[in-house]
Structure formats: C-alpha cells, structure tokens
Structure 1
Amino acid sequence: MKDVKTYIIGEISAEQFVPEHTFCYVIKGIMRLYDGNKTYDFNSGQAGLIRKNNLLRYVREKVDGEIAKVFITLDESFLKKFQAAHQTESGKFKSTEAVLSLPPNGLSDHFIHSLIPYYKSGKLEPVFANVKREELLLILLKQIPELAGVFFDYGIPQKINLEAFMNRNYKFNVSMERFAYLSGRSLSAFKRDFKSIFNDAPNHWLVCRRLAEAYFLIEKKHQRPSDIFVELGFETLSHFSFAFKKQFNILPSDLLRRKQE
C-alpha cells in the first residue's frame, strides 16, 4: 500500500470548522471540499485558499494508490505581524466563497516542492515554518493583490439570517458555540433567536432535521446508512441507528431492505 502524505504548517482543526485562513495544495490525488452549499474539487497541481470562520468537510481520493497534500495555516497573529512588517494595506474582496480556487502559478509550484526536504527528518521546525509562511504570503499577494482584503480583515462574523444559516449548515457536527459564533450571536442570543424561529431547542431540532434527511436519502435515494451517517453529522453508525429507530420506529437498515424488496 502506497503512502498518504500530509505536510502541515500550523494547526488543523479537528472540527468541521476553519478557525484560520488555510492554504491548501494537492501534490497527488484529489481533494473534495464541501461548505454546506457547494463542492470544490482540487486535483494534482491545484491550490486553493480556505477562508476562516467557515464550516467545511473534506474527503480525499487516491490516484495510483497515493495522495499527498499541503495545508498551511495563516493565523491572525502571523498575519498582523506580516502586515506591520511589510506595511501592507488591507482592502475589499468581493467574493464571499468559503473556498477560493487559486490560478496556476509557477512560484507556488516551486514553493511547494521546496517544502519537501524540510520534512525528511520529521516535523518542520518553527523557525523555518514562519519563514516559509512569509514566503508563501508574498507569492500569493504578488499573484493576487486583492487577497489583502481577505488576509488582513480581522473582523468577526456579523449577525446573519439564522433560519437560512441553520438550514444550510445543519449537517455539520460542531458545537452550539460554533453555530452561535458563526451566526454573529452570543450563545444565549443564539438559543433565544433559535427558539423564536424554529420553536424548538437547537440540539433537538438538529437531530430531527438530520434524521428527516436520512429517511429521505434511504427511502427515496436508496442510500446505505453506513454511507450517510457521517455526512449527516452523526459520530457513529450505532448512535445514528439508535436515534433513527427511536424517531421512526424502524432501523435504517430495515427501511433500506424494505425499499429494495
């Protein structure tokens, strides 16, 4: 079995939440990102920028038994130091997409391959990590100066339409605190507004909404429970099956079997 390699500078969240801007590059294989509304595909040699304060899920596919990718986190502390050192102006950036596809750039390609030797002996040392992050940022701003409006915008999410936000993002398995923050609310305001809009508590509504979608996918699309439970925000198949049986008085596997007969 061939290797799966991931080269990381910075920290990657274990949640389906992106707390900091993250540059990604696929050396080999395919990476598919989903933001609750749109899917972004990156193939070998393609790069993208994942914007902070977004919910995102990604899957990977091997090519010739291999996948290799790079993630570089450009956190707010680093960006503020870079901006001060280089006297870089901020600005406006029109697109609100969670993931930006970056056009081909020879400098970016050379930069990626220059990273590999640093990982021969294990993890990249912090002193080199900061130098390489600065190099990457200089390359990206030279290629697309408008990205300054993304990198150097340090604002927090503003209050948005909660009903639309939740109907788009209910499949993501993140905490109530994350949902509240991304909707531009304190946790208490989030729960109060949620009750007013949905006439339900957030946790209960999420489970019911996910289960309703699961029932549709199994009954109408004949999808297997094992293929959908993670995508619908459940951590284990057993938990999903238990909740489904409690809600609909039938196991998801039995519903699928009945529809296939």
Structure 2
Amino acid sequence: MLRIPSSIQPDQFAMLRIRRSSTGGLADPSQSDPARPDPSEMTFVAYRSDVYPERNEVFFEEHAVVVVLEGEKKFTSPTQDLHVHKGQILFFQRGCYSMNESIDANYRSLVFFVNEKLLKEFVGQHLDLFADTHEPVPESLILSLDSSGTFQTFIQSLLPYFGERTPFLNELLRLKYQELLLHLLEIDSRSSTPGQLRTLLWSIYQGQKTDLDYLMSTYLLKPLSMNELARLSGRSLSAFKRDFESHFHTSPGHWIRRKRLEHAHFLLRNTGKNVSEVSMEIGYESVSHFIKAYKQQYGATPKRA
C-alpha cells in the first residue's frame, strides 16, 4: 500500500514543493534526500506518466486533486468505482483508500495536494464565497468534476514551472495554489451536483469532527496508526482517545483488537479462508500472535472455532 504524498519519490515523479515559511526559494528535489524530507516543505503538485500496466492500493494522507491530462484510469474506493479520462478532475478526501489501476499506456496526470493549513487560510480570505453554505457534507470520499476551458489554461500555465527555477517560485506557487482552489469552486458551482466541494471545504475550515462510529467502521481493518486515526477524525491524539473512551467506554486499542478478532471469528466460520489468510486480513503480521489473541478472546484456538 502506498501512502501519498509521503510515498512519492523524486525518481518516480516530477514535483513542485511549497515552503511553509514565507521566505526563501523553492528547494530542488534532486538535491534533497527523499528519505529525509525537509519539514519546512510540502508537496504541492506531482506529475507522472504511468508505467503500463500498474495497480496500486493508495491511502491519501492529505486531500488531493487528480487532474487527468491524457489517457484513462480506474479508481475504486470502498463505495465508488470511477473510470476517468482526459479532462476529468477528482477530489480525494484525506483518509480515502483507493485501488488505482492503469488501463491506458498514455495515462498522465497532475496530483495536487491540498494542505489543510493553506486551505483554511484560503477559505478565511474568501469567506464571501462560502456565505449561506448549509448543504450536508458529501458522503462520497471522491468527488468527480469535469474540467473547463479556463481550468485547462490554468493547468498549461503551471507546466513550465517543472523546468524552471526562479527566486520567486515559492511565491508564485502560493498564488497558483489559490488559483487552483478558485477554479475548482467555479467548476463545482456549475456541476450537476453544485456546491459539494464548497460544502466540503467549509466543513474543513470549521474543523468539523468526523463521527467516530463512521470512522471506525470505515477503517477498522486498515493498517493505520493511532495518530493517523486521530488525524482523520479531526482531533488531536489526546482528544481522540478521550472522545473515543467516552463514546465506546473502552480504549481505542482494546476496541480495535476486539472488533478485528470478531471479524476473524466470522470469517473462520463462514468462509473457506485458513488461519494464515484470516490473520493477515485483520492486520496480524504474526500468525502465532493472532492465535494467542484469538484464544484469549474465545477460549479456543482458531482451528477449533
């Protein structure tokens, strides 16, 4: 499983980064150690021409915008199947899992990472654009939009920066970041389901917390750390643990372990999967650890379930 943007390497993608500080230029990715990313930088946009065929499970650590430049590709989430082509735009919410499958050797895309701090700054600077936003937050983790002529012009204006180095590049990319979001809001307002992106950005700006029942049912079997779960919930780690224990009356670690073993119990009784397969499916790297945990919860080994 790839975690992006942290899994993106300079030898696989062309990248532009924005420095979090308002001073200084843009670092050249070719001069940096990919194993030690500069904490003062964030990936703004990455460009790739895919190797065909390719199939990867991707976990989005940040909100992301995928712009299809050429070709076609399949994106499959737990609730959506999307077959995209040139001109389409996808907005992936942070925490989305997607199985990405290349079906076209000509596929090329730009992936913009929507940093939450800069996003909140953007909404705060344009509050008039979000007046009277009362629609419910979209349940889909992937929003699909169709590009416009003006958006295509914006994309073309960005491509030359991959080959240029200028002392003002960081400031220019910050402006491009704002331009990206304004274009997306304009497209969203004219879509078949207008206002979905606007509502989502407004909810992020307000810091709305994710429902814990929804969060845990969605990510129960995913290999996420406690810090990642807390971040997906819109809480600090301490607030996540506090709210979790108040809601579920037990600690997150104990609840996750119990629920995963309940799922394992169901699989062993109702499918033909063996102990090793079930152990791997619920996140145990060691079969012996799984057997021990299972016996503690059910009083018998998995084979005797």
Aligned in 2, Cα 1:120/1:208: closer, same or farther, shift over 3 Å?
A: farther
What is aligned with 1:59? 99
Is 1:44–2:85 an aligned residue pair?
A: yes
Aligned to 2:174: 130
Residue 266 of structure 2 is aligned to residue 220 of structure 1 = no
CA RMSD of aligned residues (A): 4.4
Asked if 1 retains the 8 angstrom alpha-carbon contact of 2:73 and 2:104, the reply is no
Structure-2 change in CA distance of 1:118 and 1:214 (3 Å): farther
What are the Cα deviations for residues 101-151 of structure 1, in whole angstroms up to 9, with x where unaligned? 1134333344334433332469x9423422322332232222224344433
Contact 1:7 1:71 in 2 (8 A): no
Matches within 5 A, 1:1-261: 5=13, 11=42, 16=59, 18-19=61-62, 21-27=63-69, 28-32=71-75, 34=77, 38-45=79-86, 46-51=88-93, 54-65=94-105, 67-79=107-119, 81-82=121-122, 88-91=128-131, 92=133, 93-97=135-139, 98-120=141-163, 125-145=169-189, 146=195, 147-153=197-203, 154-158=205-209, 160=211, 162-180=212-230, 182-183=232-233, 187=237, 190-191=240-241, 194-195=244-245, 198=248, 200-214=250-264, 216=266, 220=271, 222=273, 229=280, 232=282, 234=283, 239-248=285-294
* d(CA) in 2 for partners of 1:62, 1:164: 30
Q: 1:133 to 1:223 in 2, by over 3 A?
A: farther
2: CA distance, partners of 1:125 / 1:242 = 54
Match of 1:259 in 2: none
Distance 1:112 1:221 in 2: 50
Question: Who is 1:252 aligned against?
Answer: none
Query: Identity of counterpart residues, as a percentage?
Result: 27
Q: Cα offset for 1:47?
A: 1.1
Flag structure 1 segments of 5+ consecutive residues without an equivalent.
Answer: 250-254, 257-261
Q: Aligned partners of 1:168, 1:228: CA distance in 2, in Å?
A: 19
Partners of 1:226 and 1:125 in 2: how far apart?
50
- Equivalent pair of 1:6/1:68 in contact (CA under 8 Å): no
Q: Specify the SS of the correspondent of 2:129.
A: coil
**In structure 2, distance between residues paired with 1:148 and 1:169:** 25
Alignment partner of 1:172: what SS?
coil
Question: Which secondary structure state, in structure 1, belongs to the residue aligned with residue 98 of structure 2?
Answer: strand
Q: Is contact 1:29–1:62 with CA below 8 Å preserved after alignment?
A: yes
SS, match of residue 103 in structure 2: coil
Question: Which has the larger displacement, 63-72 or 135-144?
Answer: 63-72
Distance 2:172 2:199 in 1: 26
> Which structure ranks higher in relative contact order (CA pairs < 8 Å, sequence separation ≥ 6)?
1
How many residues get paired? 236
Distance 1:192 1:111, change over 3 A: closer
CA contact (8 A) 2:67 2:90 kept: yes
CA distance in 2, matches of 1:114, 1:224: 55
Deviation at 1:166, TM superposition (A): 1.8
Moved more, 176-185 or 58-67: 176-185
